[in-house]
Each structure stands twice: as C-alpha cells, then as structure tokens.
C-alpha cells in the first residue's frame, strides 16, 4: 500500500454495515475496474450523496437559526448583562 493510504487511514473512523449480494457484486465490479479499494468507492459515493442531500444542513449556527434571532419580544434588553436578572441563577 502507498504511504498516503496509511496516513489517511489514521485520521479515519471505522464504519461497518451490511450490503446485499447484488450491491456487493456491483461494488466489486467498480473496485476491479478502477483498481481501488471498496472503502474508497463507498466513501466517495457517500460523500456525493450527502453533498447533494437536502437533509444535511450546512452553515454556521447563526445561518441555521437566523430566523429565531430577535424572536423574543417581551424580554428586557439587558437580560444577559444586568445582575438583577441573574439573581438566583444556578441554585
């Protein structure tokens, strides 16, 4: 194996799952054609799927929760910095 393979493996998590015989045959055919490893093909396919998925959200917390910023209208403006609002907090 080339050195990059071992360096890359050190930073990887191990994931184990089951596949059908049909899926394994298809995967094996691609691996043989490309002369690579099953894990490489599965990793690339999973990355592509997740990059295109609408279920996976990307962005900062502010971008994801931006519609909630300022939604509390009845709170005092100095809630986080005025000591009288923190009276009894943590007890």
Listed by start position, the domains of the chain span 18-86
* CA 83 remoteness from chain centre: 39
The C-alpha atoms of residue 47 and residue 34 are separated, in whole angstroms, by: 18
E strand or H helix at 44, and its extent?
helix 38-52
The predicted-structure confidence for 40-59, as pLDDT tens digits, reads as follows 999 999 999 988 887 777 77
How far lies 48's CA from each of 22, 26, 37, 61, in Å? 21, 17, 17, 23
pTM exceeding the 0.85 threshold for the entire prediction: no
pLDDT higher at 62 or 20: 20
Closest C-alpha among 57, 35, 43 to residue 15: 43
């Amino acid at each position: 194996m080339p050195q990059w393979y071992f360096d890359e493996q050190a930073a990887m998590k191990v994931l184990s799952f089951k596949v059908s015989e049909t899926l394994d045959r298809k995967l094996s055919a691609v691996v043989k054609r490309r002369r690579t490893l099953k894990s490489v093909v599965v990793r690339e396919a999973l990355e592509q799927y997740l990059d295109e998925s609408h279920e996976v959200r990307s962005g900062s917390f502010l971008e994801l929760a931006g519609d909630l910023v300022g939604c509390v209208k009845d709170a005092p403006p100095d809630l986080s910095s005025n000591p009288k609002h923190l009276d009894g907090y943590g007890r």
